[in-house]
Structure 1
């Protein structure tokens, strides 16, 4: 690799190898003149996050792009064909403080018949997009705790055991619609994506 290429490189992320990478599809569904966001309620049989509400998606597999991952997971979980999926574009990346990156993609599902795979999905949920446009989520600030390992060489650090470690926090968001609670990472993605839909006038025909 030549140094002339350095100015043209796309920056990577330091420590990226420690992050698990996932992609999700944020589906828009048109029904009787209204637009809905489609969510899944995860099966209670699943080991991770059973019973929670989320978008279709999953972990990136070797050899596939993030968009391909989002489409593959959506076809599997909603039991649809990839030809029914129209990808509009990428959303903003959600970086979790717990070594997780989620890449959302916005799109439409055409001719959807409310199908889903019962091994992974307990039910599907449709919530009007206008609800999210007109309602802000409830926000709760959560503190992050810094816990150095017991064998940390404090003698190498100015101040030693009294070193003033930086403190951090992150927001927990909650949307409440009828009997449903959309929260956590999914709520963060909803808030971001709804903002992009309005900013880019996605629904304008």
Structure 2
């Protein structure tokens, strides 16, 4: 990757082509979500949400923005997510992702260049069809938690997430059952579930832009 402009050009080309899709998402799915039918939004009567995978340069590295939910929340406490939320009436899903990013982390929407979309993902527990969009800013954005649900903002280098040691797998006890759960290790955080599935597709899209890394297929 010679420059961030070159990265953006390459990423746009990757997003314009065939996407890795559900097969990439399922590489980071818990063992109870291992069928394509469970992940696809087609045929689902669901609520719709838009999320933003925001990328930006910092020095020679490209980072992605993730949020950490507050520990005291009744739903998904402490979990990691992309900025995003539920679609409002009359709003495009792209607009939803940008609005929610502004509301959650203070992102200035006019600074974001949306390059394209990833594959939508169905989330059974919440009955959401989530539509992820990929956007970039030309410089590190000034961000801070601006929503009651957001505790922290993570700025994670893509090359860290692309390395084999970032992907881990452990047996967890969920809802009284032992489940094999893959996750991304990010400092002291674990990125798993729907966020990890969407992140897996994003990493499959950017993988060709990091030819010097040894990356798992």
Fold shared by both chains (TM-score > 0.5)? yes
Aligned residue for 1:197, secondary structure, equals helix
Deviations 1:120-143 (A, max 9, x none): 31111111101222226335799x
Q: Which has the higher contact order (CA 8 A, sep 6+)?
A: 2
Deviation at 1:54, TM superposition (A): 0.8
For 1:185 and 1:27, the matched residues in 2 are separated by: 17
Deviation at 1:115, TM superposition (A): 2.2
The equivalent residue for 2:97 is: 70
Alignment of 1:137 with 2:167, yes or no, is yes
- Aligned pair count reads 161
Alignment of 1:27 with 2:36, yes or no, is no
For 1:60 and 1:22, the matched residues in 2 are separated by: 5
The equivalent residue for 2:132 is: 104
The equivalent residue for 1:186 is: 195
Distance 1:80 1:172, change over 3 A: same
Larger Rg: 1
For 1:141 and 1:46, the matched residues in 2 are separated by: 24
Alignment of 1:79 with 2:106, yes or no, is yes
RMSD: 2.5
Per residue, is there more helix in 1 or in 2? 2
For 1:171 and 1:92, the matched residues in 2 are separated by: 24
For 1:47 and 1:85, the matched residues in 2 are separated by: 32
Distance 1:109 1:50, change over 3 A: farther
For structure 2, the residue ranges without an aligned partner over 5 or more in a row are: 1-40, 173-178, 211-217
For 1:24 and 1:120, the matched residues in 2 are separated by: 15
| Correspondence for 1:196 among 195, 205, 214 | 205
